[in-house]
Amino acid sequence: MTASYDLASATAVLLAGGLGTRLRSVVSDRPKVLASVGGRPFLSYLLDQIRTAGIRRTILCTGHLGDQIQRLYGETFEGIELVYSHESEPAGTGGALRLAYEHIHCSSILVMNGDSYCAADLLDLWDWHHVHPAHISVVTATVPDARSFGRIETDGSDRVVRFAEKTSDRSPGAINAGIYLMHTAMIGRIAKDRAVSLEQELFPRWVSAGGVFSYPTGASVIDIGTPDRFERADRFAHRLRPGGSRQTAIDEVASALVSVQGGPT
C-alpha cells in the first residue's frame, strides 16, 4: 500500500453501479451515470472534476449495464487511468467499495456517488481532512429545504454525531453531498460476499466510533436520482450560455438547482 502524500497520489473511486430504479421511466436503456445532461453523459462531469483536482487514477464501480460504461470510456479519460470493478449482482454501495478494494494501492481514496455532483474544492478537502482527526471526511452542503434528504448533524468541531432520516421538516439543513475522503483501511474491513449499504449500515457504525467528520462546503449539489431532478438538470444545462467551459456549465447548473434540491416547487 503506497502512502498518499497529496490528492494527486490518491485514487478516486466512483460508485456507478446503481440500478437506477427511480430514474428508469426516463432513462431505461443505459446506466444512470450515462444519462445525458446538457448533451453529455453525467459521468463525464464527475471525471472532469476528478481530472481538475489532479487525480490520475479512477476506479469505476459498475453494475447494471456496466459494459456500456467500459465501451464508451475505455481505459483512459483525458489523462486519467480508468480501472473497472464490476459487480455481477447488486452489492450495495459498501459492497461495491469492498469489491474494488483489490484495485486500490494507495492509503487514501476519494469516493464519489455517480448520480450527484457537488462543486466542492477537492484540493481544499484534502488539506482539511489531514488537519482533522478524521478517518472519513464527508462533504456536506446546506440546502434551504432538507426534507427530501437525510440531514447530517455535527458537534461544535465538525465531528458527525448522526445521520438523521428524512422528515417533513422544511427548514434548511446540511445534507450528504456524495463525496467522501477516507482511509483505504476502512474499505478492507467491510464484509465480503454480501450486499452492504454505505449509508445505512457502515456510516452509522463509523459515526459511533467517532472518526467521521463533516467538511462543509458552500457549493451546490445536483442529484439526478429522480425523473424530476434529472429533467430539471438537463433543462437548465441546455439553457446555459454558449462558449462556457464544461466545468463552468455544470457549476451553473448546480447554482440554478439549489432551490430545487428540497423537493418540488
Is the pTM higher than 0.85? The answer reads yes
Name the pLDDT band for 254 (thresholds 50, 70, 90): low
* Residue in 43, 41, 38 with CA at minimum distance from that of residue 62: 43
Length of the chain (residues): 265
* Residue in 172, 141, 179 with CA at minimum distance from that of residue 262: 172
Could you report the per-residue pLDDT of 224-234, keeping only the tens digit for each?
878 888 887 77
Which three three-digit cell numbers place residue 29?
436503456
When pLDDT is averaged across residues 45-64 and rounded to a whole number, the result is: 94
Give 69's Cβ-side CA count (13 Å radius).
Answer: 28
CA 54 from chain centre, in angstroms, equals 17
Q: What percent of the chain has pLDDT over 90?
A: 57
Between residues 231 and 182, the one the model is more confident about: 182
Could you report the per-residue pLDDT of 133-145, keeping only the tens digit for each?
999 999 999 988 8
Could you report the per-residue pLDDT of 19-29, keeping only the tens digit for each?
657 766 667 77
At the fourth CATH level, the homologous superfamily of domain 7-256 is Spore Coat Polysaccharide Biosynthesis Protein SpsA; Chain A (3.90.550.10)
Return d(Cα 17, Cα 27) in angstroms, integer. 14
Nearby residues of 251 by Cβ (< 8 Å), 6 or more positions away: 119
- What pLDDT shows up at residue 23? 67
Please, what is the average pLDDT of the chain?
85
Domain spans, the chain: 7-256
Q: What percent of the chain has pLDDT over 70?
A: 85
Whether the CB-CB separation of 236 and 205 falls below 8 Å is answered with no
Return d(Cα 260, Cα 263) in angstroms, integer. 6
Q: H or E segment at 179?
A: strand 173-183
